[in-house]
Structure 1
Amino acid sequence: MADGPPQSFAAILDDLCLSPVGRGQRYTNTELAQIVSSLGGDITDGYISHLRNGHRDNPTLQTIEHLAAALQVCPAVFVGGRRERLGDEQPRQSFPAKLRRLFHAVHPPGRGPYTPEEAAKTISGEGKYGSISSSYIRELLSPPHGSLPNPRLKHLLGLASHFGLADDNGPQAAYFLDDDLAARIDTELDDYLALRNAGVIEFVTRMAEQAPQWTPQMRRQAVDAFMQAIESGDSTTWAFPLKKDGAQ
């Protein structure tokens, strides 16, 4: 993602219409609406105008998906992600699995996964991305049989923020819209889970909490204990609190 403040949805959509991929002629709102319709979508030229002008700024995932298909770009481009389209992008189909993955993997050490109630309270309490209910999060995690989830843009941004999918420019909601990126992040999550299950994350967290009060000798002791446990594969030797200098 480029440095500087993130572009708005309106600015990105307008730029894609003015400088479309694979053609020299600009898209009019009417023409883009007709292309969406030919691909099985239903977006009016009036709504596209509102989106481009910023009068509407919270489209659904389905709307993002249809606009991306018509403009021949990856849906993630609308949240600052990849522009080029790689085959068949299916963000709505993969959304529940990605969200379940985050709930399973991303939570502080020493506790279980966040509940939908906790996530809803955090997102709604911050207010930056609107409100979301715990019942709706449960529906996104496990949609009714035969249906596809259709969260709005602010839901995507709020969930990305809650689970720490962010950089200096804000939430990285591209995880939900780019299967290639999601696969790479999931690989990192696998590594993180392996470390957490081995006790490494909790050890390092507790070590960081205590380190300001340690002497240099105690810091060296902590590093030695950490390396010994890693090499032996035995996390039971990671004891806290560490003994004071000279203590038996």
Structure 2
Amino acid sequence: MADGRRSLAEILDGLCLRPVGRPDPYTNTELARLVNERGGDITDGYISHLRKGHRDNPTLQTLQDLAAALGVCPAVFVGGRLERLDEECPRRSFSAKLRHLFTAVYPPERGPYTPEDVAAAISAGGRYGTISASHIRDLLNPGPGSLPNPRLKHILGLADHFGLADEHGPQAAYFLDDRLAATIDAELADLMALRDAGVVDFVTRVAAHAPAWSPELRRQAVRAITQALESGDAGTGWVFPLTGERLSTE
């Protein structure tokens, strides 16, 4: 893959040639039979295309079905963990995770993204194909009795847009691994708390002005911020480090 991870074809082919928990490799026919016996719907020809890289954009459901048949976590197909937990399914829904990202992740100078914003951003580069705002709305709020079933490139595009990334590229495993999602959500909770307290906006403004500051002014800023965090008496006053005098905030 261009982002430094192994491609879906390489991962799936490796899992078929060196399966988890069994000595013999899977043939395409055998793997298709296992998927279909579990309630999935796939052909050996489609598996062959995936393994050879002739097809590279399966649906979320297909990834889940292949992972269940192979005894691995679905996140492995996007560079995530291999081992499958005893209670891997049911997982927190794709829609719930996507709604949380819309609520939690957006630039400090604006409000939350709209589906139109996200669709335009993902479609603009072309790397993840195109996606419509109406499709994103369906992913956010699927109809009664229906489950969201995005394709892999859209999953990668959504992860990239909302800043879920590591050194290798989009961290789409968030959508396929509840254990990882819980870790990321804890970090997002901290971000939301900082944003609600005005810290994110403050840091953004400081970063915009800091390049023009002298080294001494930078040191004073650090001292002032540290004192504000540690004093615990913001309601009554604090000592301004430039003068050492206590300044009232009343």
- Whether TM exceeds 0.5 here: the answer is yes
**Residue pair 1:207, 1:222 contacting (<8 A) in 2 also:** no
Deviation at 1:219, TM superposition (A): 1.5
Aligned to 2:19: 20
**Residue pair 1:61, 1:92 contacting (<8 A) in 2 also:** no
Deviation at 1:215, TM superposition (A): 1.7
State how far apart, in whole Å, the 2-side matches of 1:99 and 1:76 are: 16
**Residue pair 1:175, 1:181 contacting (<8 A) in 2 also:** yes
Aligned to 1:49: 48
Query: C-alpha deviations, 1:69-88, integer Å up to 9, x for none?
Result: 00000000000100000123
Q: Secondary structure at the match of 1:114?
A: coil
**Residue pair 1:91, 1:177 contacting (<8 A) in 2 also:** no
Query: C-alpha deviations, 1:158-186, integer Å up to 9, x for none?
Result: 00000111122111100000000000100
Aligned to 1:219: 218
**Residue pair 2:92, 2:178 contacting (<8 A) in 1 also:** no
**Residue pair 2:108, 2:200 contacting (<8 A) in 1 also:** yes
State how far apart, in whole Å, the 2-side matches of 1:128 and 1:95 are: 21
Structure 1 gap ranges (5+):
238-242, 244-248
State how far apart, in whole Å, the 1-side matches of 2:51 and 2:90 are: 22
Structure 2 gap ranges (5+):
243-250
For the pair 1:100 / 2:99, whether they are aligned, the reply is yes
Aligned to 1:142: 141
State how far apart, in whole Å, the 2-side matches of 1:220 and 1:179 are: 42
Query: C-alpha deviations, 1:213-232, integer Å up to 9, x for none?
Result: 11223223322332233233
Structure 2 counterpart of 1:15, one-letter code: G
Deviation >3 Å, runs of 4+ = 90-93, 231-235
State how far apart, in whole Å, the 1-side matches of 2:233 and 2:129 are: 45
Q: How does 1:187-202 map to 2 (within 5 A)?
A: 187-202=186-201
For the pair 1:29 / 2:52, whether they are aligned, the reply is no
Q: Secondary structure at the match of 2:35?
A: helix
* TM-score with structure 1 setting the length: 0.90
**Residue pair 1:58, 1:152 contacting (<8 A) in 2 also:** yes
- Farther off after superposition, 69-78 or 223-232: 223-232
For the pair 1:209 / 2:208, whether they are aligned, the reply is yes
Aligned to 2:83: 84
**Aligned residues: percent identity?**
68
Deviation at 1:5, TM superposition (A): 2.1
**Residue pair 1:91, 1:179 contacting (<8 A) in 2 also:** no
- Farther off after superposition, 15-24 or 103-112: 103-112
Deviation at 1:25, TM superposition (A): 0.5
**Residue pair 2:105, 2:112 contacting (<8 A) in 1 also:** yes
Change beyond 3 A, Cα 1:92–1:183: closer
Query: C-alpha deviations, 1:79-137, integer Å up to 9, x for none?
Result: 01000001233477510011011111111113211111000000000110100001100
**Residue pair 1:110, 1:202 contacting (<8 A) in 2 also:** yes
Between the two proteins, the alignment pairs up a number of residues equal to 236
* TM-score with structure 2 setting the length: 0.89
Change beyond 3 A, Cα 1:105–1:148: same
Structure 2 counterpart of 1:153, one-letter code: L
For the pair 1:5 / 2:22, whether they are aligned, the reply is no
